[in-house]
Chain A
């Protein structure tokens, strides 16, 4: 040991390196947490706060929760917004309708996505990467533009009607846009990749010899699928379904552009409260209620996922 303490003899870079070895891990993990805190948790708390306020004609258009009176703070919580959601069955109807539309869309997406994912997973290497590219390709075009494209396809003067009129199959144009069916088409089209990708990743990982074993033990191919492939791909089915279901419930653009005036979904209700009625507290309460509705399936999903991971380790 020299008389110098080791700290003194270190260059700045060495000190930095040592500091990084000690604290680098915390730093790396910390960055996403700070991000999530600033851009997710804080806005959420603001919305939560507004949901307990009262609407006012002011700037901002809601009452303050905290009143500074001489020596203390009074907090005024207004549960009226939430009670109002319960009293007017417009909201309940919108919620239920959203869930119904999202659920049906999810099932359709699953029925279309599963065979596609299966096909991709079983394709040869070079073909497989091309097929995967094609699934991801639509993301390179703006979502809004793609939904507008569907207007062009489904409209009264759109592509389908033009074609059918030209062939003479119909004489009057079909009403396809501004129906619930158009909303399904829009949601299924938009969210299909989110179903295919997780399904693909579970199916691709699956050992082909399991299916061969089922055939070898006397299963016809369809039975081998039902008894082996399908149960083993459930994690993918679940992941895909939630990735489609959750954003579909809150979907605004698709019902707004493709749905009719009767397609009541919670995303549109929310928009109306904010921008048409300018009732921020009610709109916030709607948003919070939707969040609570969706947190339950998300937590259920995570619970299943952790169980699966435990099983694999």
Chain B
């Protein structure tokens, strides 16, 4: 069910254009208010406040143990917050058991009932709600058609492949038309190829059914591809919330910059600044870094310049202006990936800088080889400046 890009774009317009998170009058659909969850002495979630809007595909992104799954399980009702409040569609969820919540969950293990076939699995939730047999049959058939599993209706879960199980799990959690669909690492158990394909399918299905999705993932690429907004979590705290674009271009911390995509972090001290520019002197980088905008802070303060590998240029000759944003080193490692090449350049300070270059034209032989002396340079606007 690969969806043409055009369809995706049009469908995505909705939340992306209205951007309810930028509208102070918009009413959040899901609201976490100072939510804390303790397991013994351990703070799994520490004073988290978060608003998620209707029709969003919201991703909670972070490494293992960052609290993202606990947050999701509190939405589902499997865990109660130690303190704080959770509202879904304006209703306080305190004390509401999972079977009475307007949420359904797609489990990481899929949790398909092994003693029931595909059809019975999908029908399970409807029959619990007392939906009539005939109506259930119709709804199940429609849902299986949506996830392209009609052919496998009579199969047992153990007779299905990983990708097929994933579809059944999705159908089972969507068939009750929950207000919020919770997805715990929805694509974690699939191999890479299938995962990429399924990302688009999931987004497409979300557009079709219009349900609000909240998804937990540790895969930044998955989050960037699918989500309308992402919350980057670390140690029970939300580090930064924003659209994939905002997070990548304007990270607020080294943690976020590191987590989304690849980045070279170069430590330095602010030596000169103005309303229009700033200069950071970096011993680690072995150069002065010129930034084309003002930074918040005083001279002498430590900053980190975040340099994305694809925004760095590699040349054999020194660039024209070598005063700023330019440093020499030796090529230490080369990764030829076909479409792009990655180079690790060792600077005089010992710091390693990663540079990626597109192989946009066909080469007779590799441009650089090991131990080549090279210059790394970048535009004044390329670096983002971080103070934590």
Contacts and interface: CB of A to CB of B under 8 A. Distances in A.
Interface of A: 207, 209-210, 212-220, 223, 227-228, 231-232, 311-312
Contacts of A223: 128
Nearest to A232: B115
A232 B114 contact: yes
A214 B108 CA distance: 15
B28 interface: no
Contact of A207 (B77, B103, B111, B128): B111
Query: Nearest 10 A-B pairs (CB), nearest first?
Result: A217-B125, A218-B128, A213-B111, A209-B111, A215-B98, A209-B107, A216-B105, A218-B99, A231-B115, A216-B98
A71 B212 CA distance: 94
Given A216-B104, A218-B128, A312 B158 contact: yes
Given A212-B76, A217-B125, A217-B176, 14 more contacts: A210-B114, A212-B78, A212-B105, A212-B107, A213-B105, A213-B112, A214-B113, A216-B99, A217-B172, A218-B125, A219-B99, A232-B113, A232-B114, A312-B158
Contact of B76 (A216, A228, A311, A312): A216
B124 interface: yes
B129 interface: yes
A102 B129 CA distance: 41
24 contacts: A207-B109, A207-B111, A209-B109, A210-B111, A210-B114, A212-B76, A212-B78, A213-B107, A213-B111, A215-B78, A215-B97, A216-B76, A216-B98, A216-B99, A217-B104, A217-B125, A217-B176, A218-B99, A218-B125, A218-B129, A218-B176, A219-B99, A227-B124, A228-B113
A215 B109 contact: no
A215 B99 contact: yes
A73 B65 CA distance: 81
Contacts of A228: 113
Interface string B123-141: 0110011000000000000
A232 B156 CA distance: 14
Contact of B111 (A212, A218, A220, A311): A212
Contacts of B109: 207, 209
A233 to B, nearest CB: 11
Chain B interface extent, by class:
20 to 34
Nearest to B76: A216
Contacts of A220: 99
A68 to B, nearest CB: 61
A207 B76 CA distance: 18
Nearest to A206: B114
A220 B103 CA distance: 15
A217 B124 contact: yes
Nearest to A228: B113
B129 A311 contact: no
A160 to B, nearest CB: 43
Nearest to A211: B111
A241 to B, nearest CB: 19
Contact of A213 (B77, B97, B103, B113): B113
A63 to B, nearest CB: 56
A228 B105 CA distance: 17
A231 B99 CA distance: 20
Most B Cβ at <10 Å: residue of A210, A213, A218, A228: A213
Interface in B78-103: 78, 97-99, 103
B113 A210 contact: yes
Contacts of A219: 99, 128
B340 to A, nearest CB: 39
A209 B105 CA distance: 11
A301 B93 CA distance: 47
Interface in B151-199: 156, 158, 172-173, 176
A96 B156 CA distance: 40
Contacts of B128: 217-219, 223
B69 to A, nearest CB: 12
Nearest to B182: A216
Contacts of A227: 124
A147 to B, nearest CB: 39
Contacts of B156: 311
Nearest to A215: B98
A168 B117 CA distance: 60
A105 B114 CA distance: 31
Most A Cβ at <10 Å: residue of B76, B105, B111, B129: B111
B113 A212 contact: no
A105 to B, nearest CB: 28
A105 B76 CA distance: 42
A204 to B, nearest CB: 16
Interface in B309-345: none
Contacts of A218: 99, 125, 128-129, 176
A84 to B, nearest CB: 48
A297 B176 CA distance: 43
A115 B98 CA distance: 24
A276 B113 CA distance: 57
A227 B109 CA distance: 19
A301 B99 CA distance: 36
B362 to A, nearest CB: 50
Contacts of B172: 213, 217
Nearest to B114: A232
A235 to B, nearest CB: 11
Contacts of B124: 214, 217, 227
Contacts of B98: 212, 215-216
Contacts of B77: 215
A227 B108 CA distance: 21
A311 B176 CA distance: 30
Nearest to A210: B111
